[in-house]
Amino acid sequence: MLYDNILVPYDGSESARAALAEAVRYAREDPGAALRIIQIIDTEQLVIERLEKEGRNTTDELSSVLLHAHYDEAVNEADAALHKQIDRMLKGLMNEITIELLEETVPGEQIVAYAEEHACDLIIMGSRGLGALRGMLGSVSSHVLRQAKAPVLVVKQRAEG
């Protein structure tokens, strides 16, 4: 077993999907390797976007109450969306798989800390991200490359054509 505990930061971007596909390839080659997939979310931004879609004003005094009231729904929706995106890619894997949503602090630092806390011995991540659920990768990948104790495999988005 080359790697026991593989971490994949995921944000739904093409680059992150390519990284997850690479991690799945590693996992298929070694059914004893655990696969940890994390998505770092900006929960406040998720709630604001949800309220704006409903046509609600998010700038008044009531907004903090609305943000709190819709927090659980927004997190549940993000979790469901994450599973919907990746479940098909994970189909048939016999490995131990952990999928977690983490609230944003500083994404690069959070990825490095998560990897250390969970004894991840390989981090596989995309080279660029989407930008806010969406802004997790890109400059973040260079931070992780510099700071992580574990090896980091940065996967480029596949060229079209």
List the domain boundaries for the chain: 5-42+89-155
**How far is residue 74 from each of residues 4, 62, 70, measured CA to CA in Å?**
33, 17, 6
Angle between helices 139-147 and 107-117 (to 10 degrees): 40
Q: What's 5-42+89-155's CATH class?
A: alpha beta
> Per-residue pLDDT tens for 48-95?
666 677 776 656 545 566 566 667 777 788 788 888 889 989 999 999
pLDDT on residue 161: 42
> Which of the pair, 113 or 63, is modelled with greater confidence?
113
pLDDT on residue 139: 81
d(CA 118, CA 152): 15
3-state secondary structure of 35: strand
**How far is residue 48 from each of residues 26, 40, 58, 70, 73, measured CA to CA in Å?**
38, 17, 7, 9, 12
What DSSP designation does 153 have?
E
In DSSP terms, which residues pair with 98 in a beta bridge? Answer: 36
pLDDT on residue 157: 72
pLDDT at 137 over 60: no
pLDDT tier at 149, thresholds 50, 70, 90: very high
Q: Residues with Cβ < 8 Å from 62, sequence gap 6 or more? A: none
Poorest-pLDDT segment among 5-9, 37-41, 77-81, 128-132: 128-132
